Each structure stands twice: as structure tokens, then as C-alpha cells.
Chains A and B, each alone.
Chain A
Amino acid sequence: MTTFAGHLPGLDREDVSWRRVSYESWGETAEIALPDLTEAQARALCRHVRENARARLKRMDVARIVAAIDGASERLLDRTHPLRREAERMLPVVTGYDRETVRLGLTSYLKTFQRPQLLRFLAEDFADPGMLDGFRPARKGGFVRASGPDLLLHVWAGNVPALSLWSLVCGLLVKAGTVGKLASAEPLTAGWFAGLVAEIDPEIGECLAIVWWKGGEEAGEAAFLAEADTVMAYGGNATLAALRAKIPVTTRFLPHGHRIGFGLVAREALDSRRAMALARLAAKDVVRYEQQGCYSPQMIFVERGGGVAPGEFARYLAHELAALAHRHPRRTLSSGEGASVAAWRGAQEMRATGDAAVLLGAPEDPFSVVHLDAATPLAPTGLNRTLALVSVDSLDEVPALVAPHRAFLQTAAIAAAPAALFRLAESLASVGVSRLAAFGAMASPEPGWHHDGRFSLLDLVTMTEIDQAAEAAAEGFAPYVD
């Protein structure tokens, strides 16, 4: 059976050419048809979304949009809803993540898009979210109003299930006419979500399209890139650079590149009572999305001098990763992924011929942990449950070890006492870390978080101000003027 992806208001399925792509994981296959629009269709769709956004979405109160998103989230949180069942069935096959990971991940993301959390998103970026509905008094005097772009294009990437919803929801909250480009590695959730929104509030559904094109030269891409007012894009630096080169200079470009996450464990967290639990949480962060997330840890710095030595903590971690592999088996790796893991393992094995490294996990195990007993700068691992644990005398050494890679920093997990947390947060902030998380929660950013340190909503809007003087001058032209 073929699943049709996307959401194309104003277009008939029969008029669209569909590219069928097969996915295989866990011994099952899925065929998904991705919409492959002609340039004319792409332009017409952009016009449809733009015009409807102007005529309808822009005139709605934010509260109505919040209600529609809340309704769509509620349906997808309901494990008996047919779409939720389909998501739980298909996403493991398409992305390769195990069922439990998909189920837990979906719930954890969707919880973030319920009404109370959406209000938090709004409050986080706007002192007075009412400015999205009309002019509101500004603190400096005068009035101010925030408007989202008429046409916001999202270019999604990667296979993390439902990751696209973060930016999709943010765009809708600022009343942007929205076109989202599906990631080939997860081409389903955004379309389902858009379909639900359209079902709940058909008017919003007309202001929202979910499309696809093959990255590169095809006709559709140029049309979408030319039509958009703002482009929010995800991907590696090479992809982003290629995309930026094709976008008119007057178009706002908001890139989110790949990131590397890491962790810090202070000696006070390493007594025999706490260390095991901490290792379990860190292992969970590693296993969740197989280190494919921008927030996923690839290296953990561990302070010497605690009750449990770093080398011992590495063993705990290996033990927890072995245990987690039963509940969350690692999918079969592609040959390229296998090569990455093998190359990383090979390098660690050679390191381990010296005294300063111990490699844990056999080649046939679905995880590897290397313990490096000398301060080592931040570096990526082979992903797919390969983790480096680095001993340091003091966590205060860590900012310098990660600083050279500022452009790739985002999330750091930390286990330390409050004084150390705030001291380290200062120095990590100064080298470019934009989020300090608890172990076990690296993959679950909080509602309203600042993705890559940016404003999720505020970055999308344009402010229009009425100067205090203009308001005063208007008084001079009032019919009641004396």
C-alpha cells in the first residue's frame, strides 16, 4: 500500500506527479509517494498559500491558531487515533528507529504543542503576544505590531521523527503562510499534522502546504526559493551554503546547521549511589535517535576525584548501553554508517594500544564506549551509539576543549552542584553553548526553548511601529481637534 505524503491545498492528487520511494527497516517495507510538482504547480501553490494567508490567516486571532494546533496535537497524542496508529506503524520502518523510541519521541514532542505550552512559546518571545493580532502600546511609547512573513518556506532535513513540527508550529503561531519541504528521511509527520490542522480549521488548512522536491536542480526548487519571503533551512554546512547561494538577497535566510552535543559530569555526581543512575540517563541520551539529533551527546567529560573514577563510570555507561539495547535495539546500519562506526572504532583501538585509552564493547556489540584518560578536545564519534568519555582534572578545563568548535555547539548536559552549574554555564555560554540540559533530557528541549540560541518566533516576524510622534501628530488631524 502506498502512503501519499504532503498536503497540497488547491491541487488534485490526480494532477500531481508522484515519486514513489521505498523504505525498509525491521523486516518491513513501506512505499511512500512524494509530490513532485512542476514549476507552474509550485508557483500556483505558493500563490494560493500566500493569498489565503493574507486574506484569512493574518486576520485570525492567534488564539484560533493555537486552538487548531492544540487540536491536531491532541489527536496525535491519542494512541487510538488512526493517524497516531499509522505514525507508530510507519515511522519505525521509514526512519529505522525502534518502535519504543518513536512512540516515546512522538509523545514527548507533541506534548510540547498543546495549548498551555503554545502560550509559553508566545510568552517567551513576546512581552505582549497581542501584538501578533494588532498594534499594542510599546513600552518606549507609540504602538507596535508583529507580522510574520506572507510566505515562509521550511526546508527540513534528517530522520528524527516529527522534528519538523517545531518550526512548522512556530511559523503558524506568527501567522505565516507556510510551505514546508519534507525531508526524504522522514516525509510523513508534517503532512499528517497539516492534514489534521486543515480538518480542524479548513481556513488555516488553505494557508499551509507540505511539499517535496529532490534537493538540487529540479524545477520546483527554484520556484519555491524565489517565492518565499523567509527561508528556514536545516542541514549540513554544504547543503546550507548551496541553498543560500540560490536565495535572493532580499529573502531572510535562517539556517540551522548540524550540531554536536556533549556532557559534563562533576565529581560530586559520582558517588556510588548516584553514578549508576546518571549513567542510565546519559545512555538514554545516546540511544535516543541514535545520536542523530543536534542535541545528542557524542562526548562526555568526567571529572576525576569523585567516588567513582571516570574509567569506572565508562564501564557503567557501557553496561547501561548494553542493557538499553534490549529495549531499544539498534537498527541494521547502512554500509556507510557501518564504515563510520568501524573507522571510529579502529582509531580508538589504535589509541588503546597506548596506555591512555580503553575501548569498551566488542565489534559485534551495538555500542562502543572509549575512555580517554587524557584531556581531549571535542570531536565527533562514529554516531549510532559510539561515545567517547574523557577524564579531566576539573570541569573548568572543558570550555577550552570545546571552544574551537563554536560553530557546532548547542546542547551540553551537565550533572553538577548549583554553584558549579552556574559557574560552568557562564564559561560555556561564552564559547557558544546555547543550552544546558539535564542528563536524560538532552533530546527533549523545553517548549519555548531558543533553538541554536535564537528566537523561534521573534526571528520570523517584522515589527511595525507607530512612532509616538506620529500618534501625537495624528491628534492634530482628528475631527475633534480644537
Chain B
Amino acid sequence: MTQAEIIEELLAFLDLPEADEVAFEAMALRVFAYQFRNNAPYRRFATQRGRTPLTVRRWRDIPAVPIDAFKTLTLSCCPPDEAERVFMTSGTTQGVRGRSHHPTLAVWERSMLPTFRRRVMRGRERIRMGILFPDESELPNSSLAHYLALARRECGAPGSRVFIGPDGLDLDGLLADLARAEAEGEPYALLGASYAFVPLLDALAERGLTVRLPEGSLVFDTGGFKGQSRELGPDEFYDALSAAFGVPRSACLNMYGMTELSSQFYDDGNETSPPVKSGPHWVRSRVVDPLTGADLPEGERGVLVHHDLAHFNCVSAILTEDAGQIVPGGFRLFGRVDGADSRGCSVAVAEFLAAARG
């Protein structure tokens, strides 16, 4: 199977209206075979686990790579310098960033756009967007910057713009844009990194301002706070967004995505926390016992594993560091799984790294 063939097959698979377990499994096993053959570190990893295309018969048995491995290994089927684009994580551990190589962005975009239309646009053709994240030209290795650029280009109404530039947030510009939407009654979408909303909320509170966005407007956040702003609990955060912008919590959407995937997960609003999240038919998620990697029964909390067939050039099966629970219709996300400190007086990894960073 050549790269062109797998891309062609995947694009056709993404175009299907749905895929049942059997269809997903068949495609997943083909993608695994492709990655096993072309991605040398993944092949060694899988072989070490005794999981090869000859022994793996179910998609659930495809070995999942710990997400941290993207930092230390080059997990790419194509030669890395032939990639059209390399997405890198923003978070670094000791200066190392996780990387995902994309020989083409065709599959990534075919995954992103229809799902964004279905889960965010929900039948609307275009909407005026205000974006709280730097432009793609500033952050060429950010998958989120590309995501938001694509959203704006394909689904943004005229006048949609980015409000975070080299000098930070253009607060006055944004307030004017929001006031205009409020005055003209045109639905508005405010999209950005979760942490970018926090200083905005603070600035509005400081000025004693609230905005009443017209009906049909939405607020879209993603990525959590990542130490970039103070941490807010989910209820505190969505209550504040709802109060500040005059949109109900059911119109506050959260996207869960990562550099190490080519597809994203969405909820249908954050009326209650945590909401059920789900992805398109080319992604399936499992919840496993982190120690053994074994599937946990539905409803039990464990660590999320995502199989994203669109991430064909790297590794499709990723063991995340996120705690989750499988529920009817998708999964619930409970934030990061943190390692424990020592219960005694020995040094554990977190304290050691903190000291190493100074």
C-alpha cells in the first residue's frame, strides 16, 4: 500500500456518512498495517508488545503509543523532511516539543471541516467570528492556529478576524466588534484557547462591562488553561462566559483536540459539566487501565485511548494522559491524569523535574 493509496482510501472512508464497528475495524487494521510497515519506531514498539498485523485482529488490540513518545521519537511514515507541515505541541517538557508530521494536509482538513460544520456550525453556512488565538502566520507549527484559520476561511462571515496579535489581545477592537454584533443583532462566534478567555473576562469585569450577544451566537473554547492563565473550574468558567457574553451555557462549546491527532472531539454545549464528547466516525475511543492497557468496563474511569484513522502518517492509536469514562454516545473527560507524589519521603518525578527546571 503506497502513501497515495492509503490517502485515497482514507478520503473515501471519511466521506462515508457513517461507519459501523466492522467497517471501522477493517479500515483501522489497514491503517495499522501501513503504519507498522512504514513507521520504524512504531514497528519496534508494536513488535515488543507482540502486536503485529499478523497477530492483531481487532482494532482494540492495535497498540497505543503513549503521547509522550511524540516528544522523543519521530513517528512518521514518510521521511520527516518530506512533510508538507509539522505540527508541534505548545507544552514542552525540558524544552522538547511533541511533533506530528503531515505529508499532506488533505486528510487533516477533510477530517476537520465537515466535523466542524456539523458540530459547531450546525446547518449554518457562515458566521462572523472573533478569534482569540494568534494567526497561523505567527504560529505556523500550531495545529490550533491552522484549525482556526480553516474555520475562518471556510465558515467565517465577512469581517471575521483574529484579535490576538504580536502585542497581545486587541481588547478595544474586540469590544467594538462585540458591540457591533449586539447592535446589529447578527449572531457571533467567539472562538479561542480557553486560557485566552480568562484575561478577557477579567478585563470585562474590571470595566464593569457585559455583552449580550444576539441569539444564535456561540462561545467556543479549547485546550484548557495550561498554566497560561489562572485555572477556573468548569462551572466557574462556563458561568462566567455565559454571564459575560449573554449566551447560555448550552451555546458554550468546547473542542477537545491535540497535536497528536488529526481529528477533534466536541460536546453539544456545557450546560452540565463534564458534558459528553464525541468525534466523527473515523475516530473511536477506549478507556483503559493505564498500568495494563486493558479496556475498562463502560462507566469506569481510566485513561483515554484514541484511535484516529485520519492520523495516518504518524500513529493512529494514542494513549493520552487524560482521564475519561465511556458513556452512551461518547465519553466524559475529567482532565489530566496526574502521577502521584511519593507517599513516603522519596522523590517522585514531578518534584524532581520541578527542581531541575529551577
Least Cβ–Cβ distance between B133 and chain A, in angstroms: 29
- Give chain B residues whose Cβ lies under 8 Å from the Cβ of A380: 346-349, 352
Contact call A349/B345, Cβ cutoff below 8 A: no
- Give Cα distance in the complex from A157 to B339, angstroms: 19
Q: Interface residues, chain B, CB within 8 Å of chain A?
A: 41, 44-45, 48-49, 65-66, 68-69, 72-73, 289-293, 301, 303, 319, 321, 323, 337-349, 351-352, 354-356
Contact check: which of A234, A259, A353, A364 meets B41 at CB < 8 Å? A353
A350 touches B347 (CB 8 A): no
- Interface range on chain A: under 10, 10 to 19, 20 to 34, or 35 or more? 35 or more
Q: Are B351 and A238 in contact (CB under 8 A)?
A: yes
A447 interfacial contact with B, CB 8 Å: no
B42's closest neighbor in chain A, by CB? A353
Could you say which residues of chain A place their CB within 8 Å of the CB of B341? 236, 336
When C-beta atoms are compared, the residue in chain B nearest to A346 turns out to be B66
B345 touches A259 (CB 8 A): yes
Q: Does the CB pair B345–A256 fall under 8 Å?
A: yes
In the assembled complex, the CB of A233 is this many whole angstroms from the nearest CB of chain B, namely: 11
A216 within 8 A of B: no
B291 in complex: contacting residue of A261, A338, A349, A359, CB < 8 Å? A338
Residues of B within 8 A of A383 (CB): 342, 346, 348
B68 in complex: contacting residue of A237, A238, A350, A408, CB < 8 Å: A350
Closest chain B residue, CB of each to CB of A333: B291
**Chain A 320-352 near chain B by CB (<8 Å), digits 1 or 0:** 000000000000011111111111111101111
Of A185, A235, A294, most B-chain CB atoms within 10 Å: A294
Chain B residues near A343 (CB, 8 Å)? 66, 68, 290, 321, 339, 349
Q: Which of A271-279, A285-293, A304-312, A392-400 contacts B (4 or more CB under 8 A)?
A: A285-293
> Counting CB contacts under 8 A, is A79 at the interface?
no
Name A134-175 residues within 8 Å CB distance of B: 157-160, 163
Q: How far is the CA of A359 from the CA of B66 in the complex (A)?
A: 15
- Closest residue to A368 on the B side, CB-wise? B291
Q: Which residue of A lies closest to B302 (CB)?
A: A335
Q: A341 touching B291 by the CB < 8 A rule? A: yes
Contact between chains at A382 and B345 (CB < 8 Å): no
Residues of B within 8 A of A391 (CB): none
A291 to B342, CA, bound (A): 9
For the complex of A and B, the 6 pairs showing the least CB-CB separation, nearest first, are: A292-B344, A336-B340, A346-B66, A340-B339, A342-B290, A353-B44
Chain A 224-255 residues near chain B, CB threshold 8 A: 234-238
Contact A379 B352 (CB under 8 A): yes
Provide 22 A-B residue pairs closer than 8 Å at the C-beta atoms, listed in order of the A residue: A157-B345, A236-B342, A236-B351, A237-B354, A258-B346, A258-B347, A259-B346, A260-B347, A291-B346, A335-B290, A335-B323, A337-B340, A350-B41, A350-B66, A352-B48, A353-B48, A353-B73, A364-B292, A380-B348, A380-B349, A382-B339, A405-B355
Tell whether A202 is near chain B: CB-to-CB under 8 Å.
no
The reply to whether A349 and B48 form a contact with Cβ atoms under 8 Å apart is yes
Query: Across the interface, which residues of A come within 8 angstroms of B339, CB to CB?
Result: 336-337, 339-340, 343, 382
Q: Is the CB of B290 within 8 A of A293?
A: no
Q: How far is the CB of B306 from chain A (nearest CB, A)?
A: 15
Instruction: Give the chain B neighbours of A350 by CB distance below 8 A.
Output: 41, 45, 65-66, 68-69, 72-73
Question: Chain B residue with minimal CB distance to A345?
Answer: B291
CB distance from B1 to the nearest CB of A (A): 23
Q: Report the separation of the CA atoms of residues A320 and B341 in the bound assembly, to the nearest whole angstrom.
A: 26
Complex CA gap A294/B346 in Å reads 4
Query: Which residues on A sit within 8 Å (CB–CB) of B344?
Result: 158-160, 163, 185, 289-290, 292-294, 296
Contact A344 B66, beta carbon cutoff 8 Å: no
Most buried by A among B68, B290, B301, B355: B290
Evaluate contact between A340 and B349: CB separation under 8 angstroms: yes
Cβ of A52 within 8 Å of any chain B Cβ, yes or no, is: no
> Which of A96, A296, A338, A405 has most B Cβ within 10 Å?
A338
Bound-state Cα–Cα, A292 to B303, Å: 25
Does A73 make an interface contact (CB < 8 A)? no
Does the CB pair B345–A408 fall under 8 Å? no
Partner of B345, one of A294, A333, A353, A405: A294
Distance in angstroms from A339 CB to nearest chain B CB is 5
Residues of B within 8 A of A123 (CB): none
A251 to B238, CA, bound (A): 46
Taking the nearest CB of chain B, how far is it from the CB of A160, in angstroms?
5
In the bound complex, CA of A382 to CA of B44 (Å): 23
Q: Which one of A185, A234, A236, A334 has the highest number of Cβ atoms from chain B below 10 Å of its Cβ? A: A236
- Is A292 within 8 A of B346, CB to CB? yes
Find chain B residues with CB under 8 A from A353 CB: 41, 44-45, 48, 73
A55 at the interface (CB under 8 A from B): no
Q: When chains A and B are docked, how far (Å) is the Cα of A158 from the Cα of B344?
A: 4
Interchain CB contact under 8 A, B66 and A258? no
Bound form: Cα–Cα A475–B257 in Å? 86
CA distance A163 to B343 in the complex (A): 13
Interchain CA distance A234-B69 in the complex, whole Å: 35
Bound-state Cα–Cα, A236 to B352, Å: 10
A339 and B343 in contact, given A236-B351, A237-B351, A350-B73 (Cβ under 8 angstroms): no
Asked if A10 is at the interface of the complex by the 8 Å CB criterion, the answer is no
Q: B346: shortest Cβ distance to chain A, in Å?
A: 5
- Whether B340 contacts A340 by the Cβ 8 Å rule is yes
Beyond A339-B321, A343-B68, A343-B339, list 15 extra A-B contacts (CB 8 Å): A160-B344, A163-B345, A258-B345, A258-B351, A259-B345, A291-B346, A292-B346, A335-B337, A337-B339, A337-B340, A338-B291, A340-B349, A341-B291, A347-B66, A350-B68
CA distance A163 to B346 in the complex (A): 13
**Residue from A96, A237, A339 within 8 A of B290 (CB atoms):** A339
> Is there contact, CB below 8 Å, between B292 and A363?
yes
Complex Cα spacing A36 to B38, Å: 62
For the complex, give the distance between the alpha carbons of A380 and B351 in Å: 10
**Interface: A189 (CB within 8 A):** no
